[in-house]
Chain A
Amino acid sequence: MRSVFPLTALALALLLAGCGSSDRPEPTEDAAAVDLLGAGATFPYPLYARWFNEYAQQSGVRINYQSIGSGGGIRQLIAGTVDFGATDVPMTDEEMSRIPRGQVVHVPTVLGAVVVTYNVPDLTEPLRLAPDVLADIFLGVITRWNDPRIAALNPGATLPNRDVLVVHRSDGSGTSYIFTDYLAAVSPAWAAGPGRSKDVRWPVGLGGKGNEGVAGQVKQMPGSIGYVEATYARQNRLPAALLRNAAGNFVAPNANEVAAAAISALELVADTPDLRLSIVNAPGADAYPIASFTWMLVAPELIGAQKTRALRAFLEWALHDGDSVAQALGYEPLPTALADRLLGSFDAQLGSQSAPR
């Protein structure tokens, strides 16, 4: 299996190239043949909607996407009712084994990050937090804002003598998954306790529904701390804590820092074909530690060669020409070099799977 890998990949790449050029003159015929249906994650939905819309105008390929949630996307893909899924949480091996035919390829499309937001009266500088302190706040070990461990990270700041009120997501969410994935990566106590999941048993705090629910509670409750999706935090100008990353630097959840997380995390796994990568706590000097991919899920053997080719063509366009749209909407596009590498890896996986067509 492994040995035929490069050969079939090459064959497929040639085939794709060939198809691409022969299809291009008559895009309308292609559109009539392939209309794609997808479902899944809500986080990338605004971006996907724009991407699909613009791509339809350019290529004539219509793609319909329903944002029913990551879990729903995975279920629909397994049930075979959609051509592709989309998720913020990589599929488990068990879930992947339930795909009726062939395998699922995880294709990262954009980067996401989670911001720790807070409401601490009298604090003028951005709050600085270290991984162990953040984990202990969410574990309920640190309960006061003037705790010496918080004060040590924020020299010169006036921290109130107030209860720390934790706010978390009450709905199952990819944002919660990324956040708990990070806490589990940096805190053994968290990994052994609540663990990583879209919904965990939170040791303390109260739940808000959606990013807006958490942000609303945090905005109103003096002394509160919560986490929201980075694009949401940016659009609503929420205060964002600086987090100490694996390299020991305090970093903000800005575009470069999030991209740095992806690049440095991928350097560690140079040749993996499996793109279900967790990029939390990435090693780069500038890497923002709570970052993640969001994926499209493609099962080539389930949908056949024609639809797979159409999806591959869309991804090629989205990851290169779709960058500006992503940025305009506040998403973090994949760095170009990374996009090329991911597409290559996708082709390789595709080749290994859809060779016996």
Chain B
Amino acid sequence: MSAPTYPTARTMSSAERPPRSNARGDRWVGWGDRIYGALITACALAIPLLLVLVAAIIARSAWPAVSTVGAELVTGTTWDVPRGQFGALPAILGTLASSLLSLIIATPLALGVAIFVSELAPPAIRRPFAFLVDVLAAIPSVVYGLWALYVLVPFLREVVMPFLGDTLGLGALPLFKGPAYGPSLLAASLVLSIMILPYIAAVARELLQAVPRSQREAALALGATRWEMVRDAVLPYARSGLVGAAILGLGRALGETMAVTMVIGNRHELPSSLFQPAYTMASLLANEFNEASGALHVSALMAVAGILLAITLIVNAIARWLVWRMEART
């Protein structure tokens, strides 16, 4: 009964009002738009402003070290706090090496997970499987660290490292030389790859699922097998996004601190072998900032933070550029 009368009542009242509400409302609507616009602009500006602010604060705090230590910060290999030597090159290279290694390990796996979930998995296990992979991302990094310290590292030391080094005879290669401590660049890269895998997999899965059905059906109609369909129709369609997904993972690997600190061995030495302890910038900050001795030490750590920030920004810029280039091509 009331359902049909309600819309009429509403149109009636709004039809009656126009002259008055227009005169006042226009002005009000104009103001509302302006306030809304200003508010949104302010919110949007706040984020880049925050970045600028962070960079400015880091730059200011890092200045004493930059002016006294200079280029030594980036090129020096000796980190000797009591003697005021702050060469962060081992940590910089350690960060890059562990992150890139983890990306190399994680990307194919994550892509496999995404393809399985979006293309191959029977609908019944698709959701639980995707959920389980997502849960990996929710595990706190300290838990990964503990697991790595008590399970992964002993496994590497007792099984993997002797196997690679002695049984396969790879120990002669510089990449695999050195005693099997356990905590090492390899251990850190493996933990990192597990940690970034769910991020890459989740984004890749969304991208693959967003590929139009028609794309797949066209490939299948042309006689493609399932694998050919994925390889030639689905993956190229999502390619630029997939690169972005991998870079997202890289960004996370660069900044990961806790788990890496627990298994990388924290040694200020240029990473030359997968088996040797190394260092990353994030671990260095986590380790030394709390109990930094003296103003120069704090300042040098701030400079390391600045370098880390710069590297993450550069990595993201490269990712953006890659995505743009690929979008332009397709």
From B83, B150, B182, B290, give the contact of A68 (CB < 8 A): B290
Interchain nearest-CB distance for A221 vs B (Å): 6
Are B150 and A220 touching (Cβ within 8 A)? yes
* Majority DSSP secondary structure for residues of B touching A: loop
Which of B157, B262, B283, B288 touches A221 (beta carbons < 8 Å)?
Answer: B157
Say whether A72 contacts B179, CB under 8 Å.
no
Interface contact B291-A198, CB-CB below 8 Å: yes
Q: Which residues of B are found within 8 Å of A217, using beta-carbon distances?
A: 149, 182-183
Cβ-closest chain A residue relative to B288: A172
List which B141-158 residues lie within 8 A (CB) of chain A: 149-150, 153-154, 157
A80 within 8 Å of B by Cβ?
Answer: no
Cβ-Cβ contact count across A and B, 8 Å cutoff: 92
Give chain B residues whose Cβ lies under 8 Å from the Cβ of A72: 290-291
In contact, B261 and A172 (Cβ under 8 angstroms):
no
Q: Is the CB of A199 within 8 A of B266?
A: no
- Distance, CA A196 to CA B267, complexed state (A): 18
Which residue of chain B has its CB nearest to the CB of A165? B181
Which residues does chain B contribute within 8 Å of A196, judged by CB atoms?
82
- Known contacts A209-B261, A216-B149, A221-B182; is A71 also within 8 Å of B290 by CB? yes
Asked if A198 meets B268 with Cβ closer than 8 Å, knowing A172-B287, A206-B183, the reply is: no
Q: Is the CB of B262 within 8 A of A209?
A: yes
Q: Chain B residues with Cβ under 8 A from A206's Cβ?
A: 181, 183, 265-267, 277
Q: Kindly report which residue of chain B lies nearest to residue A207, judged by CB atoms.
A: B266
In the complex, chain A residues whose CB is within 8 Å of the CB of B267: 202, 205-207
Asked, given contacts A170-B266, A208-B266, A221-B182, whether A197 binds B81 with beta carbons under 8 Å apart, the answer is yes
Contact A173 to B291, CB < 8 A, known contacts A207-B267, A216-B149: yes
Q: A172-B291, A206-B266, A213-B262 are in contact. Are A195 and B82 (CB under 8 A)?
A: yes
B78 in the interface, Cβ–Cβ < 8 Å? Answer: yes
Closest to B82 in A: A197
Decide: A207 and B291 in contact? CB cutoff 8 A.
no
Number of interface residues of A (CB under 8 A): 32
The residue in chain A whose Cβ has the minimal distance to the Cβ of B183 is: A206
B228 within 8 A of A: no
Interface residues of B in 252-266 (CB under 8 A from A): 261-262, 265-266
Output the least CB separation between B295 and chain A (Å): 9
Residues of A within 8 Å of B287, CB to CB, are 170-172, 207, 209
* Distance to closest chain A CB from B156 (angstroms): 11
CA distance A213 to B277 in the complex (A): 14
Q: Give the CA-CA distance A53 to B81 in the complex, in Å.
A: 37
Q: Which chain B residue has the least Cβ–Cβ distance from A74? A: B293
B82 with A200: CB separation less than 8 A: yes
- Which residue on A lies nearest to B179, using beta carbons? A163
Residues of B within 8 A of A174 (CB): 291
A209 cross-chain contacts in B, Cβ below 8 A: 261-262, 266, 286-287
With both chains docked as a complex, state the minimum distance between the C-beta of A342 and any C-beta of chain B, in angstroms. 25
Name 14 extra pairs, CB < 8 A, besides A170-B261, A199-B82, A208-B266. Answer: A69-B291, A72-B290, A171-B286, A171-B287, A171-B291, A172-B288, A195-B82, A195-B83, A198-B291, A198-B293, A199-B288, A201-B78, A205-B267, A221-B181
9 pairs of A and B residues whose beta carbons are closest in the complex: A172-B291, A207-B266, A170-B266, A206-B265, A201-B80, A69-B290, A197-B82, A206-B277, A171-B287
Instruction: Give chain A's interface residues, CB within 8 Å of chain B.
Output: 68-72, 89, 163, 165, 170-174, 194-202, 205-209, 213, 216-217, 220-221
